[in-house]
Chain A
Amino acid sequence: MDGMTMAEWLDDFLFTYETLIHALGVNGLLALSMYCVMAVGQLSLGQAAFMGIGAYTGALLTLNLGLPFWLVLPLSALAPAVVALVIGGPTLRLSGVYLAISTIALGEVLRVLYINAEWLTGGALGLSGIPRKADLWLIYLLLFLAVLGFWAVGRSKIGRAMEAMREDEAVAGVMGVNLPVYKMGALVVSAMLAGLAGCLTAHSNSFIGPNEFGFEMAVTILSFALVGGIGTPIAPVIGALVLTSLPEILRPLQDFRLVINGLIIVVAVLFLPRGVIPFRLRRAP
Chain B
Amino acid sequence: MLSQQLVNGLVLGSTYALFALGFTLIFGVLRVINLTYGFYFSIGAFVALTVAREFGATIWVALPVGALSAGVVAVVADWILLTRLRRAKAGELASLMVTLGAVLALYSLMAVFIGTDIQRFPFGFVDNTAIEFGGIRISLVQMLIVGTTFVLVAVLFLLLQRTKLGLMIRALAENEDAARLMGINVGLTVAAVSFLSGTLGGAAGVLIGLNFNAIQPFMGEHMMLRGFAVIIIGGLGDIRGALIAGVLLGVLEVLTAGYISSNAKEAVAFTILVLTLWFRPVGLFGRAQAKRA
Known: A97-B96, A112-B264, A255-B112. A266 touches B274 (CB 8 A): no
A212 within 8 A of B: no
Smallest beta-carbon distance A215→chain B, Å: 7
- Are B281 and A109 in contact, CB atoms less than 8 angstroms apart? no
Assembled-state Cα–Cα distance A260/B274 (Å): 31
Q: Is the interface of B mostly helix, strand, loop or mixed?
A: helix
Known: A104-B225, A112-B267. A43 touches B273 (CB 8 A): no
- Are B101 and A269 in contact, CB atoms less than 8 angstroms apart? yes
Smallest beta-carbon distance A96→chain B, Å: 6
- Are A262 and B104 in contact, CB atoms less than 8 angstroms apart? yes
Our pick among B93, B97, B267 for the contact of A109 (Cβ within 8 Å) is B267
Closest partner residue, chain A, to B84 (CB atom) = A270
Residues of chain A within 8 A (CB-CB) of B100 are 219, 222, 262, 265
Known: A96-B93, A219-B104. A101 touches B232 (CB 8 A): yes
Residues of chain B within 8 A (CB-CB) of A101 are 225, 228, 232, 273, 277
A263 within 8 A of B: yes
Smallest beta-carbon distance A160→chain B, Å: 22
Residues of chain A within 8 A (CB-CB) of B123 are none
B229 within 8 A of A: yes
- Are B101 and A223 in contact, CB atoms less than 8 angstroms apart? yes
- Are B105 and A266 in contact, CB atoms less than 8 angstroms apart? yes
Q: Is the interface of A mostly helix, strand, loop or mixed?
A: helix
A206 within 8 A of B: no
Residues of chain A within 8 A (CB-CB) of B192 are none
- Are A259 and B108 in contact, CB atoms less than 8 angstroms apart? yes
- Are B274 and A102 in contact, CB atoms less than 8 angstroms apart? yes
A175 within 8 A of B: no
Our pick among B105, B108, B270, B281 for the contact of A108 (Cβ within 8 Å) is B270
Known: A94-B281, A98-B277, A262-B108. A108 touches B225 (CB 8 A): yes
One digit per residue, 1 when the CB lies within 8 angstroms of any chain B CB and 0 when it does not, for chain A 260-278 equals: 1111111011100100000
Assembled-state Cα–Cα distance A43/B273 (Å): 17
Known: A116-B264, A269-B94. A91 touches B105 (CB 8 A): no
Assembled-state Cα–Cα distance A256/B98 (Å): 18
Known: A101-B232, A258-B105, A262-B103. A269 touches B274 (CB 8 A): no
- Are B281 and A98 in contact, CB atoms less than 8 angstroms apart? yes
- Are B273 and A105 in contact, CB atoms less than 8 angstroms apart? yes
- Are B98 and A269 in contact, CB atoms less than 8 angstroms apart? yes
Closest partner residue, chain B, to A266 (CB atom) = B101
A153 within 8 A of B: no
Residue from B103, B112, B274, B293 having most chain A Cβ neighbours under 10 A: B274
Closest partner residue, chain B, to A118 (CB atom) = B263
Known: A91-B278, A270-B84. A215 touches B264 (CB 8 A): no
Smallest beta-carbon distance A267→chain B, Å: 8
Closest partner residue, chain A, to B278 (CB atom) = A90
Our pick among A43, A109, A219 for the contact of B271 (Cβ within 8 Å) is A109
Assembled-state Cα–Cα distance A269/B278 (Å): 29
Smallest beta-carbon distance A6→chain B, Å: 40
Residues of chain A within 8 A (CB-CB) of B273 are 101-102, 105
B153 within 8 A of A: no
B106 within 8 A of A: yes
- Are B293 and A170 in contact, CB atoms less than 8 angstroms apart? yes
Beyond the given pairs A105-B228, A223-B101, A256-B112, 6 more chain A to chain B contacts, judged by CB atoms under 8 angstroms and listed by A's residue number, are A94-B278, A101-B228, A222-B97, A226-B97, A270-B85, A273-B94
Identify 6 residue pairs between A and B in the complex whose beta-carbon atoms are under 8 Å apart, listed by A's number.
A90-B278, A102-B278, A258-B105, A259-B104, A259-B112, A262-B106
